[in-house]
A and B are shown apart, each in its own frame.
Chain A
């Protein structure tokens, strides 16, 4: 058990958990939309690190990691980039039309932690 504790898999998995927390916080509370988009990327990075921890733990059969979650991360990174590009384009359009880069009268939306 101690060996797993010291391994990079657990360490980066925990780092991923912390990054999820930080990214979520930016996404929920930051007034600027551009920063929220960066927050989404932090959140995504954290999630991918959890996948990475899973992959590293699954080393075997001569591979240093389970290739399936690694491939999922690659797919995920590309999807995350597409999302960033679409969000940035929408934000720039909103700015061109209104001159602001926040969603005015933004109602608070704390995601509730479900059971």
Chain B
């Protein structure tokens, strides 16, 4: 029975992917992609990865969808059929891609059995972090350097996006530019955020011991902020504002500072003293959640579109 369900899900995912590849209209493809992201979230629950399922649904489907839809609306006036790849080229590409997929499928089927796993190692080390969710332990303890560098990647992407503003607008505010704000949207933007913030805080808080965590919570916060900006209840802030920048770097800075403190307290970079590991990690997560929310929101908002005020 579950096999049937899995098969249906996989077939649906592949059908949507093919639809995205073939359909003419970009908006149609993007809407299909959002659906794809949500279904994929369901797929991740079937793989027993609830943390990933939440992240995929929130970021993969949700925020990426908003970003792409806004881009499509922006580009729509200039729709012109670009130089299409020749028929022969397409066939050749299709063969090459099919070969890659087939090679990959063979490799997936040839994975050794029993599968090599770090689950026992992660479980053994879990008590010394004070956490209950092993994924959070991997992200913030065992492989904390990955997470720290990935935060820098997020900030760098934002620097890159901001650098695309014309010189005289740089440092100004981005604009989400809805043509009209329909009544229901404004209503939603007033009602939903309190719930949304509550859910985000909950997600971040349970993340230490149950599925959830900074990314998921941060994304929900970012979504609430975007909703408020889209409904024009609050304008997007000027990108040069110090308060904005401090929120952006707050999480990574605290992470890095505690990392360096590890030299003094726990004998190494990004090492936590066992007795206070959990409060330190939760503190880092709290700051990261805010920073992620700000970064994601500003990434969607894009480069500055109004000149900075005096």
Contact = CB atoms under 8 A, between A and B. Distances in A.
Contacts of B18: 22
B94 A25 contact: yes
Contacts of B93: 25, 28-29, 110
Interface in B21-68: 21, 26, 29-30, 33, 36-37, 40, 43-44, 46-49, 51-52, 55-56, 59-60, 63-64, 67-68
A17 B26 contact: no
Interface string A51-80: 011111111111111111011111101111
Contact of B154 (A14, A61, A82): A82
B252 interface: no
Contacts of A14: 10, 105, 108-109
A31 to B, nearest CB: 4
Given A20-B100, A25-B93, 12 more contacts: A1-B113, A11-B3, A15-B14, A19-B13, A22-B14, A34-B26, A34-B75, A35-B29, A52-B49, A54-B111, A81-B67, A91-B71
24 contacts: A11-B7, A14-B10, A14-B108, A15-B10, A17-B104, A17-B108, A22-B14, A22-B21, A22-B101, A24-B100, A28-B97, A30-B21, A45-B37, A48-B56, A55-B49, A57-B111, A60-B119, A65-B47, A66-B122, A71-B143, A72-B146, A80-B60, A81-B299, A100-B80
Interface of B: 2-3, 6-7, 10, 13-14, 17-18, 20-21, 26, 29-30, 33, 36-37, 40, 43-44, 46-49, 51-52, 55-56, 59-60, 63-64, 67-68, 71-72, 74-75, 78-85, 89-90, 92-94, 96-102, 104-105, 108-109, 111, 113, 115-120, 122-124, 134-135, 137-139, 142-143, 146-147, 150, 153-154, 156-158, 160-161, 164, 215, 292, 296, 299-300, 302-303
